[in-house]
């Protein structure tokens, strides 16, 4: 089968861009080598695809065993290659640094062959169980089986993380299973048995005897040590000379106690955003230098100062903010907060001068929004100029007006506001509101006395909507000497 060759293999270009963005010097040798081999064989396949793919028929019956080695490193098209190699890049960088290059290479080689064998066993079983001989000729290529196995390994080394698969948050321990099902359901032409074989081989390593067997077989080599000694092995690895942490002392100073994995993730993330030093990194370096030069600072901070960079604002932070209201207006008056779900915004009356039913006008001095609290507010009617109600609340205007609206909907006749807006020819949208003033009122009494002053100023007790007598008794309690 001739590969469907386009003028430019977009997937291949994208892969190269990704590799150079991470930086060749940041990719450990075996990962880089495996990646190079896959790309090379994609450009110059050893044999046509039908002669390298693995199936029960070709592998077991025809005894074409070299397919076990060839199938994982050949790919169907450039996108197949791209997705597998980007995944290899991320998993390889982590795992190779954790396990050591030689052992990682050993793992990849053993996994590749074992996955081919497990794949054939699975397909053989499926053919027998479902009585469908087509499973025996299902031919698979690609690195994704090995990637599934590496994923199981990586999750074994970093347990307790939460993965996000198609919007479903799941503990990374089970992520590979969900991914297996998701990929099978979403992408036609992927090999379910091939991926399952990958997971099974990964589990054979993490839970089964494979790890022990591999270590025993490799026992003669002093390089193949357990992960406990990996760091020593790695820092002595001279070929990777651009590794930035040369001595233990430097190491802690630059890392601020982060583990290698954390640093590497951070470095990688940084390299994806910006290839040069960021402003924050430069500031941090300057800060560290200052600490070094100042004996007092050094004494105070110890020999492991933690330098942390604050993330520069991303799009989400620019578009949403919990702490500030949305308007940047500084004009006096009340303005809609413009939050997407705010029910009050349509009722906001934004004038800076309010005229009461007695024609007294009042100039608002500050800027308020739906979320302002500890306020004296006015409710007005779009239809009737004389209908004004003055109220006070320690809550936000939004909460308070929402309570008024509930009263109106429930038709509370004893409340004048509710009575006015539920009368004939009126509806909720006639209600407009604004804040008259806001103060750091400490008690309800302080708020109520300020509210009463506003009522008296606009004469809403006689001409407006504050004439509800039951409401007035409330003031009689607060102001026993005030004759209303
Ligand atoms: Zn609002
Ligand atoms: Zn009205």
CA of 348 from ligand 2 middle (Å) equals 16
**Annotated catalytic residue within 55, 112, 144, 450:** 144
In a domain, 410, yes or no: yes
In a domain, 86, yes or no: yes
Together in a domain, 26 and 54: yes
End-to-end, the C-alpha distance of the chain in Å comes to 98
Give pLDDT, residue 328.
Answer: 62
CA of 166 from ligand 1 middle (Å) equals 33
In a domain, 322, yes or no: no
In a domain, 76, yes or no: yes
Give pLDDT, residue 483.
Answer: 47
CA of 78 from ligand 1 middle (Å) equals 51
Give pLDDT, residue 468.
Answer: 60
Together in a domain, 248 and 210: no
- Which among 38, 52, 24 has a CA at the least distance from the CA of 81? 38
Active site residue 144: yes
CA of 444 from ligand 1 middle (Å) equals 25
Together in a domain, 30 and 177: yes
As a whole-number percent, the residues of the chain with pLDDT over 70 amount to 75
Q: Which ligand is nearest to the CA of 384?
A: 2
Q: Which ligand is nearest to the CA of 432?
A: 2
Q: Which ligand is nearest to the CA of 380?
A: 2
Confirm if 339 and 326 have CB atoms less than 8 A apart: yes
Residue with the larger pLDDT of the pair 291 and 142: 142
CA of 418 from ligand 1 middle (Å) equals 21
Confirm if 394 and 452 have CB atoms less than 8 A apart: no
Give pLDDT, residue 82.
Answer: 85
As a whole number, mean pLDDT of residues 5-28 equals 80
Residue with the larger pLDDT of the pair 247 and 406: 406
Structural domain boundaries, residue 339: 333-478
Q: Which ligand is nearest to the CA of 425?
A: 2
pLDDT in tens, 149-178: 988 888 887 766 666 666 777 777 777 777
- Any idea how long the chain is? 484
Angle (nearest 5°) at CA 148 between 146 and 153: 95
Together in a domain, 228 and 79: yes
As a whole number, mean pLDDT of residues 415-428 equals 90
Q: Is the pLDDT of residue 95 over 60?
A: yes
The residue to which tokens 């690609």 are assigned: 142
Give pLDDT, residue 238.
Answer: 35
Most confident range (mean pLDDT) of 39-53, 296-310, 416-430 is: 416-430
Q: Which long-range contacts (CB under 8 A, 24 or more apart) does 251-257 make?
A: 252/303, 252/304, 253/288, 253/303, 253/304, 253/305, 256/304, 256/305, 256/306, 256/307, 256/308, 257/304, 257/306
In a domain, 316, yes or no: no
Give pLDDT, residue 376.
Answer: 96
Q: How does residue 412 score in pLDDT terms, banded at 50, 70 and 90?
A: confident
Q: How does residue 333 score in pLDDT terms, banded at 50, 70 and 90?
A: very high
- Residue 188, both tokens: 């036609």
Distance CA(408)–CA(413), nearest Å, equals 9
Q: How does residue 254 score in pLDDT terms, banded at 50, 70 and 90?
A: very low
Together in a domain, 264 and 360: no
Together in a domain, 68 and 217: yes
CA of 168 from ligand 2 middle (Å) equals 51
Q: Are strands 373-381 and 431-438 parallel, antiparallel or unpaired?
A: antiparallel
Most confident range (mean pLDDT) of 85-94, 316-325, 423-432 is: 423-432
Residues with Cβ–ion distance below 5 A, ligand 1: 336-337, 342, 344-345, 370
Together in a domain, 293 and 348: no
Together in a domain, 118 and 217: yes
Q: Which long-range contacts (CB under 8 A, 24 or more apart) does 303-306 make?
A: 303/252, 303/253, 304/252, 304/253, 304/256, 304/257, 305/253, 305/256, 306/256, 306/257
Q: Which ligand is nearest to the CA of 389?
A: 2
Together in a domain, 257 and 127: no
In a domain, 327, yes or no: no
Q: Are strands 388-396 and 373-381 parallel, antiparallel or unpaired?
A: antiparallel
Q: What is the mean pLDDT of the chain?
A: 78
Cα→Cα distances 366→122, 330, 439, 465, Å? 74, 8, 11, 25
The phi-psi region of residue 404 (left if phi > 0; otherwise alpha if psi is between -120 and 50; otherwise beta) is alpha
CA of 417 from ligand 1 middle (Å) equals 20
Q: What are the respective helix, strand and coil percentages of the chain, to the nearest 5?
A: 55, 10, 35
Q: How does residue 484 score in pLDDT terms, banded at 50, 70 and 90?
A: very low
Q: Is the pLDDT of residue 479 over 60?
A: no
In a domain, 442, yes or no: yes
Distance CA(300)–CA(297), nearest Å, equals 5
Confirm if 108 and 30 have CB atoms less than 8 A apart: yes
Q: Is the pLDDT of residue 481 over 80?
A: no
Distance CA(85)–CA(15), nearest Å, equals 7
CA of 390 from ligand 2 middle (Å) equals 15
Together in a domain, 227 and 251: no
The phi-psi region of residue 329 (left if phi > 0; otherwise alpha if psi is between -120 and 50; otherwise beta) is beta
Q: Is the pLDDT of residue 267 over 60?
A: no
Domain count, the chain: 3
Together in a domain, 257 and 124: no
Q: How does residue 332 score in pLDDT terms, banded at 50, 70 and 90?
A: very high
CATH number of the domain to which 347 belongs: 3.40.1440.10
Together in a domain, 83 and 209: yes
**Annotated catalytic residue within 74, 195, 347, 426:** 195
Work out whether the CA dihedral 177, 182, 185, 186 comes out positive or negative.
Answer: negative
Q: Is the pLDDT of residue 57 over 60?
A: yes
CATH number of the domain to which 47 belongs: 1.20.1540.10
In a domain, 347, yes or no: yes
CA of 377 from ligand 1 middle (Å) equals 15
Distance CA(96)–CA(157), nearest Å, equals 12
């Amino acid at each position: 089968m001739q590969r469907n060759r386009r003028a430019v293999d977009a997937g291949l270009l994208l892969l190269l861009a990704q590799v150079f963005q991470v930086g060749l010097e940041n990719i450990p040798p075996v990962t880089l080598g495996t990646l190079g081999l896959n790309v090379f064989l994609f450009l110059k396949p050893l044999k046509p695809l039908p002669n390298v793919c693995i199936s029960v028929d070709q592998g077991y019956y025809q005894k074409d065993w070299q397919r076990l080695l060839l199938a994982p490193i050949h790919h169907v098209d450039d996108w197949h290659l791209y997705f597998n190699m980007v995944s290899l890049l991320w998993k390889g960088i982590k795992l190779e640094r954790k396990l050591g290059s030689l052992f990682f290479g050993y793992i990849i080689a053993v996994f590749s062959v074992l996955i081919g064998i497990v794949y054939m066993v699975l397909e053989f079983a499926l053919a027998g169980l479902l009585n469908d001989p087509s499973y025996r000729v299902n031919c698979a290529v690609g690195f994704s089986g090995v990637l599934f196995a590496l994923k199981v390994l990586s999750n074994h080394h970093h347990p307790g993380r939460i993965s996000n698969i198609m919007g479903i948050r799941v503990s990374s321990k089970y992520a590979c299973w969900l991914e297996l099902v998701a990929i099978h359901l979403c992408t036609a032409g992927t090999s379910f048995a091939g991926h399952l074989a990958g997971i099974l081989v990964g589990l054979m390593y993490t839970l089964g005897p494979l790890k022990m067997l591999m270590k025993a077989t490799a026992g003669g080599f002093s390089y193949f040590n357990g992960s406990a000694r990996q760091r020593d092995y790695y820092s002595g690895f001279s070929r990777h000379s651009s590794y930035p942490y040369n001595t233990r002392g430097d190491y802690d100073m630059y890392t601020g106690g982060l583990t290698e994995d954390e640093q590497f993730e951070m470095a990688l993330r940084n390299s994806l955003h910006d290839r040069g030093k960021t402003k924050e990194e430069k500031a941090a370096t300057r800060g560290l230098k200052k600490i070094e030069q100042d004996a007092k600072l050094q004494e105070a901070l110890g020999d492991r100062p933690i330098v942390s960079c604050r993330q520069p604002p991303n799009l989400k932070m620019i578009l949403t903010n919990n702490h500030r209201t949305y308007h940047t207006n500084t004009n006096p008056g009340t303005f809609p907060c413009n939050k997407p779900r705010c029910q009050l915004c349509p009722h906001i009356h934004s004038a800076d001068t309010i005229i009461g039913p007695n024609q007294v006008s009042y100039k608002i001095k500050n800027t308020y929004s739906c979320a302002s609290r500890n306020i004296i507010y006015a409710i007005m009617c779009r239809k009737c100029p004389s209908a004004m109600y003055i109220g006070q609340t320690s809550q936000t205007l939004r909460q308070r007006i929402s309570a008024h609206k509930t009263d109106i909907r429930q038709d509370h006749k004893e409340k004048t506001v509710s009575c006015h807006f539920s009368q004939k020819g009126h509806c909720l949208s006639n209600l407009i509101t604004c804040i008259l003033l806001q103060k750091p009122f400490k008690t309800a009494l302080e708020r109520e006395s300020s509210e009463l002053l506003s009522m008296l100023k606009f004469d809403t007790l006689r001409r407006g909507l504050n004439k509800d007598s039951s409401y007035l008794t409330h003031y009689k309690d607060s102001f026993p000497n005030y004759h209303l």
